[in-house]
Amino acid sequence: MPPATPASPPSPRPAGAAPVAGSRDRVVDWLRGLAICFVVVDHLPVPSAYQVLTEEAIGPVSSAELFVALSGVVLGSVHARRVADSGWGASAQQMWSRAGTLYLTAVTLVVVTWLLTLVPGVDGRFVTTFTDQGTGAAGAEGAGQVYDLYGWFRGVADGTVPFPEAMEALFLLRMGPWQANILGLYVALLLLAPLVTWLLARRLWPVVVVLSLAGWGVALVEPVRVLPSQFEDAFPLLSWQVLFVLGTVVGWHRSAVLAAARTRAGRAVVVLLVVAWLAAVAFSWANPYLSNALDVRWVLLDDATYTQVYAEWFARTDLRPGRLAATWAFLVAAYALLTVAWRPVSAATSAALEPLGRATLYVFVVHVPVVLLVAQLGDRDTSLGVGTLLATATLALLWLMVRTRFLFGIVPR
């Protein structure tokens, strides 16, 4: 991102505030780095101690919600400056160009992943199939309906699917590794983003918020599949756009939002959101599901009641109201707490997380072949100790690839 050029000297940052590197907010980079680590851990085929943190220990929130919301915040912040400097047309062109880059990346990743599974001795089932745990027998680990994510390619190979049909499925992103299907969502969001910024540039942010919430509300009442792409199964566009759009509004008005947060009323709101986040964490820790033998839960509700409340208020696919609220409560609480405690937190963790947070697209793309490699070494039956070592090695490898800029000239960032 190009550094911002303020029209007047910037006001001093409050004591304890996290520093800004050029135009980058290091707290946001830190949070994105944490989120991409969660993604990698949750996409690995082996159990690990890290799952104690990644599987909703921070509340009924996953890395996907954090990424989508933070992507909106970053886009809004960056393009507010670009519209002011170069005009809306130039800004829109950059967003559409980025959407094109993501689309080509997604298509290429689908093909490259398939080719890797054809290497003799490689078991590609972990990336070419998806098991719906919700359809399995209660208590049966790994049970459930298995979906073939590359049925079109297999059909071409055995003569049951015409080649043009397979190409249509490829270019509509109807196939591909489940670990990367959210890329299709980002393509759609970036294609829509110029309309959002056009309205924001005309100070019509209330219209943007109302329309976004209305679309999300419609999807809650009656699920709507906007596109035929695979990502709609896990991240319905009409539901998930609300995180991105609200994030864009916040990012566009970033300075005003931060200034308001420093007022007496703003501080009170932040405190309330921190309390709300802690309540969400307390609820999440009562989840009867244990990620592994190290997991610890407490009992707030009986299992049946918890499951019912979770399904009605915190289900992920259609982004239920409690989950949407918990996501924003976490982001506000995390940003506030990190800002206050930035120096010690940064000293201990920034060297590991910030490089990953500044190259999240690169890490997301390369993690797919990496998890395929790990799948050749272990699976769900791998011991917790060995799985934790494999997860640690995976994160270390990805960090090293970022630090050495491995294939940075080929893989987008």
pLDDT, tens digit, 9 for 90 and up, residues 62-88: 999 999 999 999 999 999 999 999 999
Any idea which residue has 């930035």 for tokens?
342
Residue whose C-alpha is closest to residue 93's, from 1, 198, 171, 241: 198
**What gap in Å lies between CA 181 and CA 322, rounded to an integer?**
24
Domain boundaries, the chain: 55-340
Does residue 127 contact residue 179 with C-beta atoms inside 8 Å?
yes
* CA–CA dist 284, 151 (Å, integer): 37
pLDDT confidence tier of residue 5, bands split at 50, 70 and 90: very low
The pLDDT value recorded for residue 15 is 43
Contact 58, 274 (CB under 8 A): no
pLDDT of residue 143: 57
Alpha helices (H) along 202-341: 205-221, 231-234, 237-252, 254-261, 264-284, 303-313, 321-340
Q: Residue 355's pLDDT band (boundaries 50, 70, 90)? A: very high
pLDDT-based confidence at 6, cuts 50/70/90?
Answer: very low
Q: What is the pLDDT of residues 174-221, one digit of tens each?
A: 999 999 999 999 999 999 999 999 999 999 999 999 999 999 999 999
- Of 133, 180, 132, 128, whose CA–CA distance to 152 is shortest? 128
Sign of CA dihedral 76, 81, 87, 93: negative
pLDDT of residue 379 exceeding 90, the answer is yes
**Is pLDDT of 319 > 70?**
yes
Residue 20 pLDDT: 63
Grade residue 301 by pLDDT with cuts at 50, 70 and 90. confident
Residue 292, pLDDT score: 79
- pLDDT higher than threshold 90 for residue 336: yes
Answer whether 118's CB lies under 8 Å from 140's CB: no
Centre a 10 Å sphere on the Cβ of residue 371 and count the other Cβ atoms it contains: 19
4 pLDDT higher than 70: no
Alpha carbons 314 and 329: distance in angstroms, whole number: 14
Would the pTM of this model clear 0.75, i.e. be above it?
yes
User: Mean pLDDT, to the nearest integer, of 156-162?
Assistant: 94
Confidence grade of residue 314 (pLDDT, cut at 50, 70, 90):
very high
- Res. 127: pLDDT tops 80: yes
Does residue 228 register a pLDDT over 90? yes
State the average pLDDT for the chain.
92
Checking if the pLDDT of 126 tops 60, the result is yes
Residue 234 CA: distances (Å) to CA of 44, 79, 182: 18, 28, 8
d(CA 155, CA 158): 5
Per-residue pLDDT averaged across 46-52, rounded? Answer: 95
pLDDT at 350 over 80: yes
Angle formed by the axes of helices 321-340 and 264-284, nearest 10°? 120
**What percentage of residues in the chain have a pLDDT greater than 90?**
86
What is the average pLDDT across 261-275? 96
